[in-house]
Amino acid sequence: MDYHAFLSQFPDTYIGRGRTDRREIALTFDDGPGRATSALLTTLRECDVQATFFCVGEKARRATDTVRAIARDGHEVGNHGFTHRDLRALDPRTFWMTEVLPARSLLEDVSGTPVTLFRPPFGEISPAQTGRLAEEGVTLVGWSIDPRDWDEVEAKDHTGRVVRHVIEQVHPGAIVLLHDGDEGERARPAIAEVVRLVVPALRTMGFSFVTAGRLRDAR
Protein backbone atom coordinates (compact mmCIF):
# COMPACT_ATOMS: atom_id res chain seq x y z
CA MET A 1 0.00 0.00 0.00
CA ASP A 2 2.85 2.40 -0.80
CA TYR A 3 0.35 4.60 -2.56
CA HIS A 4 -1.25 5.60 0.75
CA ALA A 5 1.33 8.14 1.83
CA PHE A 6 -0.69 9.08 4.92
CA LEU A 7 -0.11 5.64 6.43
CA SER A 8 3.46 6.65 7.27
CA GLN A 9 1.87 8.93 9.88
CA PHE A 10 0.72 5.80 11.73
CA PRO A 11 3.94 3.81 12.20
CA ASP A 12 2.62 2.02 15.29
CA THR A 13 -0.66 1.09 13.61
CA TYR A 14 0.28 0.29 10.02
CA ILE A 15 2.59 -2.52 8.94
CA GLY A 16 3.39 -3.04 5.27
CA ARG A 17 6.41 -5.27 5.78
CA GLY A 18 8.44 -6.76 8.62
CA ARG A 19 12.04 -6.23 9.66
CA THR A 20 14.62 -6.24 6.93
CA ASP A 21 17.30 -8.03 8.96
CA ARG A 22 15.50 -11.36 9.30
CA ARG A 23 14.65 -13.76 6.52
CA GLU A 24 11.11 -14.16 7.79
CA ILE A 25 8.05 -13.68 5.62
CA ALA A 26 4.30 -13.89 6.10
CA LEU A 27 1.85 -15.54 3.72
CA THR A 28 -1.59 -13.91 3.98
CA PHE A 29 -4.84 -15.18 2.49
CA ASP A 30 -7.78 -12.84 1.93
CA ASP A 31 -11.51 -12.97 1.24
CA GLY A 32 -12.27 -16.36 2.77
CA PRO A 33 -13.37 -18.69 4.00
CA GLY A 34 -13.99 -20.08 0.54
CA ARG A 35 -14.31 -23.40 -1.20
CA ALA A 36 -10.52 -23.61 -1.61
CA THR A 37 -9.75 -23.05 2.06
CA SER A 38 -9.89 -26.67 3.25
CA ALA A 39 -7.46 -27.88 0.58
CA LEU A 40 -5.21 -24.94 1.36
CA LEU A 41 -5.21 -25.87 5.06
CA THR A 42 -4.14 -29.40 4.15
CA THR A 43 -1.27 -28.07 2.05
CA LEU A 44 -0.14 -25.65 4.76
CA ARG A 45 -0.16 -28.54 7.25
CA GLU A 46 1.93 -30.69 4.89
CA CYS A 47 4.35 -27.78 4.39
CA ASP A 48 4.41 -27.01 8.14
CA VAL A 49 3.64 -23.33 7.55
CA GLN A 50 1.67 -20.99 9.78
CA ALA A 51 -0.11 -18.21 7.87
CA THR A 52 -2.59 -15.38 8.38
CA PHE A 53 -6.16 -15.52 7.07
CA PHE A 54 -7.98 -12.21 6.63
CA CYS A 55 -11.56 -13.45 6.78
CA VAL A 56 -14.71 -11.65 5.66
CA GLY A 57 -17.34 -11.54 8.43
CA GLU A 58 -20.37 -12.52 6.39
CA LYS A 59 -18.49 -15.43 4.82
CA ALA A 60 -17.15 -16.57 8.18
CA ARG A 61 -20.71 -16.59 9.55
CA ARG A 62 -21.66 -19.15 6.88
CA ALA A 63 -18.47 -21.21 7.31
CA THR A 64 -17.81 -21.35 11.03
CA ASP A 65 -16.32 -24.86 10.84
CA THR A 66 -13.69 -23.59 8.42
CA VAL A 67 -12.81 -20.64 10.65
CA ARG A 68 -12.42 -23.04 13.56
CA ALA A 69 -10.19 -25.28 11.41
CA ILE A 70 -7.98 -22.29 10.52
CA ALA A 71 -7.46 -21.50 14.19
CA ARG A 72 -7.10 -25.16 15.21
CA ASP A 73 -4.23 -25.54 12.73
CA GLY A 74 -2.41 -22.70 14.47
CA HIS A 75 -2.98 -20.05 11.84
CA GLU A 76 -3.76 -16.47 12.66
CA VAL A 77 -7.25 -15.10 12.01
CA GLY A 78 -7.37 -11.50 10.82
CA ASN A 79 -10.30 -9.22 10.07
CA HIS A 80 -11.15 -8.22 6.48
CA GLY A 81 -14.37 -6.36 7.29
CA PHE A 82 -17.90 -7.66 7.46
CA THR A 83 -19.12 -7.19 3.88
CA HIS A 84 -16.01 -6.70 1.73
CA ARG A 85 -16.95 -3.44 0.08
CA ASP A 86 -14.99 -0.24 -0.37
CA LEU A 87 -15.43 1.35 3.05
CA ARG A 88 -13.79 4.72 2.50
CA ALA A 89 -17.08 6.64 2.30
CA LEU A 90 -18.02 5.61 5.85
CA ASP A 91 -17.35 8.00 8.71
CA PRO A 92 -14.93 6.50 11.25
CA ARG A 93 -17.64 5.62 13.76
CA THR A 94 -19.85 3.85 11.20
CA PHE A 95 -16.77 2.14 9.77
CA TRP A 96 -15.92 0.81 13.21
CA MET A 97 -19.45 -0.08 14.38
CA THR A 98 -20.80 -1.70 11.20
CA GLU A 99 -17.74 -3.31 9.65
CA VAL A 100 -14.68 -3.74 11.86
CA LEU A 101 -16.28 -4.52 15.23
CA PRO A 102 -19.00 -6.98 14.09
CA ALA A 103 -16.51 -8.96 12.01
CA ARG A 104 -14.01 -9.00 14.85
CA SER A 105 -16.60 -10.14 17.41
CA LEU A 106 -17.77 -12.95 15.17
CA LEU A 107 -14.25 -14.09 14.28
CA GLU A 108 -13.14 -14.04 17.91
CA ASP A 109 -16.23 -15.96 19.04
CA VAL A 110 -15.85 -18.62 16.37
CA SER A 111 -12.06 -18.99 16.37
CA GLY A 112 -11.55 -18.60 20.10
CA THR A 113 -8.52 -16.43 19.37
CA PRO A 114 -7.96 -12.68 19.70
CA VAL A 115 -8.28 -10.85 16.36
CA THR A 116 -6.00 -7.83 16.46
CA LEU A 117 -5.21 -7.39 12.76
CA PHE A 118 -7.35 -5.65 10.15
CA ARG A 119 -6.84 -5.46 6.41
CA PRO A 120 -9.31 -3.19 4.60
CA PRO A 121 -11.07 -4.56 1.50
CA PHE A 122 -9.06 -3.62 -1.61
CA GLY A 123 -6.46 -2.09 0.72
CA GLU A 124 -8.50 1.11 0.73
CA ILE A 125 -8.93 3.14 3.89
CA SER A 126 -9.24 6.81 4.85
CA PRO A 127 -6.92 8.70 7.21
CA ALA A 128 -9.78 9.17 9.71
CA GLN A 129 -10.57 5.44 9.68
CA THR A 130 -6.91 4.66 10.24
CA GLY A 131 -6.98 7.04 13.20
CA ARG A 132 -9.91 5.10 14.65
CA LEU A 133 -8.02 1.82 14.32
CA ALA A 134 -5.07 3.44 16.06
CA GLU A 135 -7.33 4.51 18.97
CA GLU A 136 -8.68 0.98 19.25
CA GLY A 137 -5.25 -0.64 19.23
CA VAL A 138 -5.90 -2.49 15.98
CA THR A 139 -3.00 -3.15 13.60
CA LEU A 140 -3.63 -2.29 9.96
CA VAL A 141 -1.85 -4.81 7.72
CA GLY A 142 -0.83 -4.07 4.15
CA TRP A 143 1.44 -6.13 1.93
CA SER A 144 4.76 -5.79 0.12
CA ILE A 145 4.27 -8.46 -2.57
CA ASP A 146 1.13 -8.72 -4.70
CA PRO A 147 1.39 -11.45 -7.34
CA ARG A 148 -2.19 -10.69 -8.46
CA ASP A 149 -3.26 -14.27 -7.94
CA TRP A 150 -6.84 -13.27 -8.85
CA ASP A 151 -5.80 -12.16 -12.34
CA GLU A 152 -6.11 -14.34 -15.46
CA VAL A 153 -6.81 -17.47 -13.47
CA GLU A 154 -7.76 -19.26 -16.69
CA ALA A 155 -4.34 -18.66 -18.24
CA LYS A 156 -2.37 -21.84 -18.86
CA ASP A 157 0.60 -20.85 -16.72
CA HIS A 158 -1.36 -19.03 -14.01
CA THR A 159 0.11 -21.01 -11.12
CA GLY A 160 3.67 -20.75 -12.45
CA ARG A 161 3.31 -17.00 -13.00
CA VAL A 162 2.15 -16.40 -9.43
CA VAL A 163 4.91 -18.60 -7.98
CA ARG A 164 7.62 -16.89 -10.07
CA HIS A 165 6.35 -13.43 -9.09
CA VAL A 166 6.68 -14.23 -5.37
CA ILE A 167 10.13 -15.80 -5.79
CA GLU A 168 11.41 -12.85 -7.85
CA GLN A 169 10.07 -10.22 -5.44
CA VAL A 170 10.75 -11.92 -2.12
CA HIS A 171 12.68 -9.95 0.49
CA PRO A 172 13.25 -10.17 4.26
CA GLY A 173 10.07 -9.15 6.09
CA ALA A 174 7.84 -9.65 3.05
CA ILE A 175 4.07 -9.77 3.48
CA VAL A 176 2.63 -11.72 0.55
CA LEU A 177 -0.94 -11.03 -0.57
CA LEU A 178 -2.82 -14.16 -1.70
CA HIS A 179 -6.48 -15.17 -1.78
CA ASP A 180 -8.43 -18.22 -0.64
CA GLY A 181 -11.94 -16.72 -0.79
CA ASP A 182 -14.16 -17.45 -3.77
CA GLU A 183 -14.06 -14.98 -6.64
CA GLY A 184 -17.77 -14.43 -7.21
CA GLU A 185 -19.09 -17.90 -8.01
CA ARG A 186 -15.64 -19.29 -8.70
CA ALA A 187 -13.44 -21.12 -6.21
CA ARG A 188 -9.67 -20.65 -6.26
CA PRO A 189 -8.40 -24.13 -7.06
CA ALA A 190 -4.86 -22.92 -7.80
CA ILE A 191 -4.07 -21.47 -4.38
CA ALA A 192 -3.10 -24.75 -2.69
CA GLU A 193 -0.81 -25.59 -5.62
CA VAL A 194 0.79 -22.13 -5.48
CA VAL A 195 1.63 -22.73 -1.81
CA ARG A 196 2.87 -26.27 -2.43
CA LEU A 197 5.35 -24.94 -5.01
CA VAL A 198 6.38 -21.63 -3.49
CA VAL A 199 7.09 -22.76 0.09
CA PRO A 200 9.98 -25.17 -0.63
CA ALA A 201 11.48 -22.73 -3.14
CA LEU A 202 11.52 -19.93 -0.57
CA ARG A 203 12.89 -22.25 2.12
CA THR A 204 15.77 -23.10 -0.21
CA MET A 205 16.46 -19.36 -0.36
CA GLY A 206 16.71 -19.31 3.44
CA PHE A 207 13.31 -17.87 4.26
CA SER A 208 11.08 -19.05 7.08
CA PHE A 209 7.37 -18.46 7.52
CA VAL A 210 5.69 -16.57 10.33
CA THR A 211 2.31 -14.92 10.82
CA ALA A 212 1.73 -11.24 10.12
CA GLY A 213 1.23 -10.78 13.86
CA ARG A 214 4.71 -12.16 14.49
CA LEU A 215 6.21 -9.70 12.00
CA ARG A 216 4.39 -6.91 13.83
CA ASP A 217 5.54 -8.05 17.27
CA ALA A 218 9.16 -8.34 16.08
CA ARG A 219 9.32 -4.75 14.81
- Which residues here bind Zn ion, judged by CB under 5 A? 30-31, 121
Do the Cβ atoms of 180 and 34 come closer than 8 Å?
Answer: yes
Could you tell me how many residues make up the chain? 219
- Amino acid type, 81: G
Q: 30 or 76: whose CB is closer to Zn ion? A: 30
Q: 31 or 149: whose CB is closer to Zn ion? A: 31
What is residue 157's DSSP assignment? T
Instruction: For residue 63, give Cα distances in angstroms to 5, 60, 93, 218.
Output: 36, 5, 28, 32
Q: What are phi and psi of 196, to 5 degrees?
A: -60, -30
Q: What are phi and psi of 94, to 5 degrees?
A: -65, -45
As a whole number of angstroms, the distance between CA 98 and CA 119 comes to 15
Rg, the chain, Cα only: 16
How large is the angle between the packed helices 101-111 and 64-72, nearest 10 degrees? Answer: 70
Q: 55 or 199: whose CB is closer to Zn ion? A: 55
Catalytic residue numbers read 30, 179
Q: 46 or 152: whose CB is closer to Zn ion? A: 152
